[in-house]
Amino acid sequence: MAISVAEVIFDGVLGLTLWLGPLIAPHYYLQLHRSWGPDLRMDQIIGAGVLWIGGDLTGLPFLAAVMTRMMREDQRDAVAIDAELDTLDALDASLGPAVTGPSETRPRLWWEDHPELAQRFRRPR
């Protein structure tokens, strides 16, 4: 995911740099004595646009596919965790108060035992 985001950003930055920056290797291209096509500046601008838009057009759909896959995987994990928790809740309910007992205290949250956070986030009893 990070590589794809970096690639989209890099294509944009490089495209803008080539588009707005100075001509790259103008002496080489002038020695070609090319008689067709746009002048050197317009040719570089077109190339920068192709790089920028082409990179984004290939990178963004890939990012969308990766995000979709990650969301589906997260949904599958959530369903499995919910089923496990429902099973544990059903087991606790089936055992009833005879096993757990009325004197059992409520479960504590992690920050209630943390030395720095216990005072700040104390729950009323």
Q: How many CB atoms lie within 10 A of CB 118?
A: 12
Assess contact for 8 and 55: CB atoms under 8 A: yes
Would you list the domain boundaries of the chain? 2-98
**Cβ atoms of 70 and 4 closer than 8 Å:** no
Rounded to 5°, angle at Cα 110 from 109 and 113: 100
pTM above 0.75, yes or no: no
Query: pLDDT confidence of 125, banded at 50, 70, 90?
Result: low
- The arithmetic mean of pLDDT across residues 95-121, rounded, is 68
Give 20 or 100, the one with higher predicted confidence: 20
pLDDT of residue 42: 94
Opening angle at CA 20, ends 19 and 22, nearest 5: 95
